[in-house]
Structure 1
Amino acid sequence: MTANPGNTASEQMLALVLKTLEEDKAEDVVVISLNGKSQIADNMVVCSGRSTRQVSAISEKLADKLKQEMGVFSKIEGKGQGDWVLIDGGDVIVHVFRPEVREFYQLEKMWMEPGAADAAT
Structure 2
Amino acid sequence: MPEGLSPLRLVSDRKDPELALDAILKSLDESKAEDILSIDLRGKSALADFMVITSGRSHRHVGAVSDRLLKDLKDNGFGNANVEGLPNCDWVLIDTGDIIVHIFRPEVREFYNIEKMWAADAEGED
**Shorter-normalised TM-score: what interval?**
0.7 to 0.9
Matched, 1:51 2:58: yes
Aligned partner of 2:99 in structure 1 is 92
TM-score normalised to structure 1 length: 0.85
Aligned partner of 1:5 in structure 2 is none
- Aligned with 1:114 (options 96, 105, 123): 123
> How far 1:64 moved relative to its partner?
1.3
> How far 1:79 moved relative to its partner?
0.5
SS of 2:116's partner is helix
- Aligned with 1:40 (options 32, 40, 47): 47
Whether the 8 Å contact between 2:33 and 2:56 is mirrored in structure 1 is: yes
TM-score normalised to structure 2 length: 0.82
One-letter identity of the residue aligned with 1:75: N
Unaligned runs of at least 5 residues, structure 2 = 1-14
User: Quick check: which has more Rg, 1 or 2?
Assistant: 2
- Cα RMSD between the aligned structures? 1.8
Q: What is the aligned length?
A: 110
Q: How much identity, in percent, do the aligned residues show?
A: 53
One-letter identity of the residue aligned with 2:90: D
Aligned partner of 1:29 in structure 2 is 36
Q: Matched residues in 1 for 2:78 and 2:17: separation? A: 13
Aligned partner of 1:11 in structure 2 is 18
- 1:59-90 Cα offsets, whole Å, 9 max, x none, are 11101111111242100100100100000011
Unaligned runs of at least 5 residues, structure 1 = 1-7, 116-121
